[in-house]
């Protein structure tokens, strides 16, 4: 069996989540997929995958091997495309990642338009409430809100006015103490998300101080979903903190009220990030060139809407 082909099957199984799903994606039987992985395991002399009836889980050796496979396959694809010349038409599967709400409301319509414009490309859009490791997880392009750490990734800014706001339902506020400053949150029920601050929220320093104000709390509800936190706040179960565009519609219809306007943190930037070298791949370059201006326009609109409801 060809080892490169077996690597492709191995990575497809990881991306699909099961042998049968990988088989459907590749047009092969589950038995053929299993044989390819067994071939690799025999070649390296150790188990790569722990197989269960419901899922696949990488062994410790499998995690290292999967990283190497993705790197090797990516370099092979780039070599093929470079040999074909810069005018090679975009083709293949483009893997994108984004936060769920941003991905559904902002990125998905752009992806649909991109697919119409480039019929030779298919897209795998992965929506996750966590930062992804682009290289290890095989992501070509990710949409990320927030400051970026130093890295070898290529970053293209597509937005710069996304604010985090504290909100609660008027009926909740009517039955609980006033919230005039961040410290007042300690008297309240906090609904938070795992990526917006599990047990603390940070606010800018007071005038004349350089020390940020950190409010530590014991949340009444922690969820890993923006939609769930939003729904809980709208239902009057507590105070939450989300991006302004998450709550703009609910603020407009009066079901939520923005609090602590004077203590809002600085706006967050939005970037498209790409692994080093991937911009030379036509499908990646075509997507970035296609999506960037559309994302800038959409985030500018959302920022204007969010500013209007809080004015």
Q: What is the arithmetic mean of pLDDT over 127-154?
A: 82
> Is 52's pLDDT higher than 70?
no
CA distance 182 to 184: 5
Q: Give the length of the chain.
A: 311
Residues 6+ apart with CB under 8 A from 311: none
Average pLDDT over residues 126-132: 82
pLDDT at 273: 93
pLDDT confidence bin for 306, thresholds 50/70/90? low
How confident is the model over 192-208, as pLDDT tens digits? 988 777 889 999 888 88
Whether residue 262 is predicted with pLDDT greater than 60 in this model: the reply is yes
- pLDDT range class, residue 82, cuts 50, 70, 90: low
What mean pLDDT do residues 158-173 have?
A: 89
Question: Is the predicted pLDDT of residue 114 greater than 90, yes or no?
Answer: yes
Q: Between residues 207 and 181, which one has the greater pLDDT?
A: 181
Average pLDDT over residues 16-37: 85
Q: Which two tokens stand for residue 22?
A: 């990988």
Beta bridge partners of 273: 142, 155
Please report, to the nearest 10 degrees, the dihedral formed by the alpha carbons of residues 68, 71, 72, 75 taken in order.
-170
Q: Calculate the dihedral angle through the C-alpha atoms of 197, 198, 199, 200, rounding to the nearest 10 degrees.
A: 0
Say which residues have a Cβ less than 8 Å from residue 53's Cβ, sequence separation at least 6.
none
Closest by CA to 37, choosing from 18, 262, 104, is 18
Q: How far apart are CA 192 and CA 241, in angstroms?
A: 7
CA–CA dist 146, 75 (Å, integer): 29
Residue 91, C-beta contacts closer than 8 angstroms, at least 6 positions apart: 120, 121, 282, 283
H or E element that contains 190: none
**Residue-level pLDDT at 163:** 86
Per-chain mean pLDDT for the chain: 86
Tell me: pLDDT of 108 over 90.
yes
- Helix (H) / strand (E) containing 222: strand 221-223
Question: 56 pLDDT band (50/70/90 cuts)?
Answer: confident
């Amino acid at each position: 069996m060809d080892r490169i082909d077996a690597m492709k099957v191995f990575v497809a199984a990881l991306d699909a989540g099961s042998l049968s799903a990988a088989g459907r994606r590749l047009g092969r039987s589950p038995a053929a997929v299993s044989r390819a992985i067994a071939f690799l395991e025999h070649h390296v002399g150790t188990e790569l995958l722990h197989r269960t009836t419901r899922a696949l889980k990488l062994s410790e050796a499998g995690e290292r091997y999967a990283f190497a496979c993705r790197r090797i396959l990516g370099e092979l694809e780039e070599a093929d495309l470079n040999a074909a010349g810069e005018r090679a038409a975009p083709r293949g599967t483009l893997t994108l990642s984004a936060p769920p709400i941003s991905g559904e409301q902002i990125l998905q319509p752009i992806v649909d338009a991109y697919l119409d414009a480039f019929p030779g490309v298919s897209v795998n859009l992965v929506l996750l409430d966590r930062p992804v490791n682009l290289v290890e997880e095989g992501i070509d392009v990710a949409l990320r809100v927030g400051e970026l750490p130093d890295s070898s990734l290529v970053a293209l800014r597509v937005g710069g006015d996304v604010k985090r706001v504290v909100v609660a339902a008027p009926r909740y506020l009517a039955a609980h103490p006033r919230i005039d400053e961040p410290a007042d949150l300690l008297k309240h029920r906090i609904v938070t998300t795992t990526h917006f601050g599990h047990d603390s929220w940070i606010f800018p320093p007071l005038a004349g101080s350089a020390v940020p104000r950190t409010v530590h709390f014991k949340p009444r509800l922690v969820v890993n979903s923006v939609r769930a936190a939003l729904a809980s706040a709208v239902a009057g179960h507590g105070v939450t903190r989300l991006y302004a565009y998450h709550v703009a519609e609910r603020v407009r219809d009066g079901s939520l009220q923005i609090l602590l306007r004077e203590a809002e943190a600085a706006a967050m930037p939005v970037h498209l990030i790409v692994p080093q070298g991937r911009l030379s791949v036509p499908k990646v370059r075509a997507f970035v060139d296609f999506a960037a201006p559309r994302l800038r326009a959409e985030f500018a609109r959302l920022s204007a809407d969010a500013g209007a409801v809080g004015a």
